[in-house]
Amino acid sequence: MIWRTSDGKTRTFSWRLASSTMPGYMGDKSGMTVHHLAMKKYECKIYHVKKKNQSYFIPDTLDCAKKEGFSPCSHCIGKSP
Ligand SMILES: [Zn+2]
C-alpha cells in the first residue's frame, strides 16, 4: 500500500516492515478511542496507553477502527461530519 507522510511525500508501505514503520492509527482499548498518530496532540496522552491496550488496524484506516468499535479522538481526528 502507499501512504502519504505529514511532509507530503508518498511512501510505499510493506507489511513486512510493519514493526519498524509507524502505523497511521492507534486504538486505545481502555477508552475505546482511536488516535491518528501523525496528528497526535499533547492532549491525546497516547504515551500513557499501556501496551496491552494498544490496538492497530489492518487495513490501517479510520473506517476499520470504527468498525472495531473505536471512537475518533476529538484532539487529533475530531468529530466526523
Ligand atoms: Zn488523539
In a domain, 17, yes or no: no
Residue 81: pLDDT over 60: no
In a domain, 55, yes or no: yes
In the block, cell 470504527 appears at: 66
pLDDT score recorded for residue 72: 96
Q: Which domain holds residue 67?
A: 22-81
Query: For position 34, which CATH number holds?
Result: 3.40.10
Q: How many domains does the chain fold into?
A: 1
In a domain, 67, yes or no: yes
pLDDT score recorded for residue 49: 95
Q: Which of residues 8 and 25 earns the better pLDDT score?
A: 25
State in Å: Cα 53 to ligand 1 middle: 14
State in Å: Cα 45 to ligand 1 middle: 7
Model pTM above 0.95: no
State in Å: Cα 70 to ligand 1 middle: 12
Residue % of the chain over a pLDDT of 90? 65
- The single-letter code of the amino acid at 10 is T
pLDDT by residue (tens digit) across 25-52? 999 999 999 999 999 999 999 999 999 9
State in Å: Cα 1 to ligand 1 middle: 24
Nearest alpha carbon to residue 74 among 45, 38, 46, 33: 33
> In this structure, are residues 73 and 33 in contact, taking their beta carbons and an 8 Å threshold?
yes
**Which residues sit with Cβ closer than 5 angstroms to ligand 1, an ion?**
35, 44, 73, 75-76
**Cα angle for residues 37, 39, 45 (degrees, 5° grid):** 65
In angstroms, the first-to-last Cα distance of the chain is 26
In a domain, 62, yes or no: yes
